[in-house]
A = this chain, B = another copy of it.
Amino acid sequence: MRELTLVALPGIPEVARGADLAGLLLAAVKRAGRTLESGDVMVIAQKIVSKAEGRSVRLAGVTPSARALELAGVVGKDPRLVELMLCESREVMRARPGVLIVEHRLGFVLASAGIDQSNVSGPHGEEIVLLLPENPDASARRIQQDLFAACSVETGVIINDSFGRAWRNGVTGVAIGVAGVPALVDLRGHPDREGRPLRVTQVAAADELAAAASLIMGQSDEGYPAVLARGFPYALRASTVDELIRPHAEDLFR
């Protein structure tokens, strides 16, 4: 039977800087009455990875540059927030009232450099925002290794976030970091039953699983920041999220 099962892991507490994510995940797997099996994929929300890695920034400590001040006027956002977005980006692609689309330093094209202002606040009502992990592939690999150290089971790890799309409303889950899971699965060379090459040749398998997990994670703090997926249909292998990033030379919509 070809079946994919995703379980939203219950009871994961608020994650603090330095938290042992693998430990928290394994406790949640146990709480769900499951055990980690070889070939399972753990999908983890960016938010808790960023929190564990101390990627929060106090807005009060940010001094906006002249460029950030100017851009903040165009998009109508807090200049300190725009300063952080610029620091996290290689290029501003579009700036309109309410919208700032950038190429992130990690290569992703996304709104607001993935900087999440909701769901984070410090003591005394300080405004704190959360940046993407420094290197999400490395974060995923660390968690994968910690899971292996704890259970001797080979799993895949995906760190996911929700991105908008150019021509479709709403966000969907995408992979921003992977370990042990093929980000892209290349079906080129597999002929169909008439012997013709398949029209669809490369599948963004990690994005598809990230979207599936995102669906049951929910979006608010009452959501579930990690999902255990069983039944990923392709062989696990070393991979990197760069496989999913379209090279500039092939980008028709910059």
Contacts and interface: CB of A to CB of B under 8 A. Distances in A.
B94 A194 contact: no
Contact of A252 (B101, B208, B218): B101
A167 B222 CA distance: 31
Interface string A105-124: 00011001000111101000
A231 to B, nearest CB: 7
Contacts of A116: 199
A63 to B, nearest CB: 23
Interface residues of A, number: 74
Interface of A: 1-8, 10, 32-33, 94, 96, 99, 101, 108-109, 112, 116-119, 121, 162, 165-174, 184-185, 187, 190, 192-194, 196-200, 202-205, 207-209, 211-212, 214-216, 218-222, 224, 231-233, 243-246, 251-253
18 contacts: A1-B32, A1-B33, A2-B224, A118-B197, A162-B200, A162-B203, A166-B252, A166-B253, A167-B253, A171-B202, A171-B204, A172-B172, A172-B208, A193-B222, A203-B214, A203-B215, A208-B211, A212-B212
Given A5-B5, A99-B252, A119-B194, 17 more contacts: A3-B5, A3-B8, A108-B167, A109-B166, A118-B199, A119-B196, A162-B203, A166-B167, A166-B253, A167-B245, A190-B220, A193-B220, A193-B221, A193-B222, A198-B219, A208-B214, A253-B253
